[in-house]
Amino acid sequence: MSYSEDFELWEERIVNVPLNETKTPTEPVKDYVASVETLAKDADEDREALTSAGMDEQLIDDLIPLSGALRYCQANWMSVYEAQEEATLLWREQAPLAFEFRDELLHDFSFAYRDHPDILKKVMRIREGGSKADMVQDLLELAVLGAKYPEPLNLIHFELSKLDNSRTLSRSMAELLATANGEADEGNETKVLRDKAFTLLFEKDSTIREYGRYVFWKNDDKRSRYFR
């Protein structure tokens, strides 16, 4: 069975894990899952002894498919996380130039429309605010404003092609900012699903280990396999 099929099998139960009971992995998921898969093999060998102490043997059978579901959720989260990281790096590289371009447009517009109070007021309003989101919006509004009132810009030999560049830059920077910000970490739906899958597996894993330590309390070799 593939990891995606494992996830489909467990999806409803994973989704239904209460958010206030959801745990975040404290070690790399690949390492944790590997330890669970080893436990599945050991517990299967000790199935009779564990179930004779009252443990539900379905716990053992759940470990491998649920581990696959967790691997699937982890892969999806890492895809989102890595996209965020890449977007963040690209934003850091490109944002200074975008801010500089915005400031150059504001400089040109302020001069071009100096004798047009109504238009200049719009330019001054656009100039307000210096956040990332402001810059993205400013580039778009400047493009729209310049296209609506091109004559004063022509008089100062402003290159109107810059208006198209501003519109395009606004769109690309908006996409980068949205991806970089996203719902990073705790609020990200993909991460929450990963954490829920981990929580469900952790509960089953912990229960089996608890029974194993209880059953094999006089057998150090066996008992050691049930410590995490």
Is the predicted pLDDT of residue 1 greater than 80, yes or no? Answer: no
Regarding predicted confidence, which is higher, 181 or 60? 60
Q: Return the percentage of the chain with pLDDT > 70, whole number.
A: 97
Torsion angles phi and psi, residue 129, rounded to 5: 85, 140
Q: What is the pLDDT of residue 181?
A: 82
Q: What is the pLDDT of residue 179?
A: 87
Q: What is the pLDDT of residue 228?
A: 84
- Cα Rg of the chain (Å, integer): 29
Average pLDDT over residues 15-32: 96
Q: Where are any strands of DSSP class E within 144-192?
A: none
Phi-psi category of residue 129: left, alpha or beta, with phi > 0 → left and psi -120 to 50 → alpha: left
Split at pLDDT 50, 70, 90, the class of 188 is: confident
Q: What is the pLDDT of residue 187?
A: 55
Is the predicted pLDDT of residue 116 greater than 60, yes or no? Answer: yes
Average pLDDT over residues 116-126: 96
Is the CB of residue 149 less than 8 Å from the CB of residue 122? no
**Residues across the chain:** 228
Contacts with 155 (C-beta within 8 Å, 6 or more apart), sequence order: 112
Q: What is the pLDDT of residue 3?
A: 95
Split at pLDDT 50, 70, 90, the class of 186 is: low
Is the predicted pLDDT of residue 8 greater than 90, yes or no? Answer: yes
Distances (CA, A) of 80 to 73, 84, 92, 195: 11, 6, 18, 14
Split at pLDDT 50, 70, 90, the class of 144 is: very high
Average pLDDT over residues 63-80: 96
Average pLDDT over residues 116-124: 97
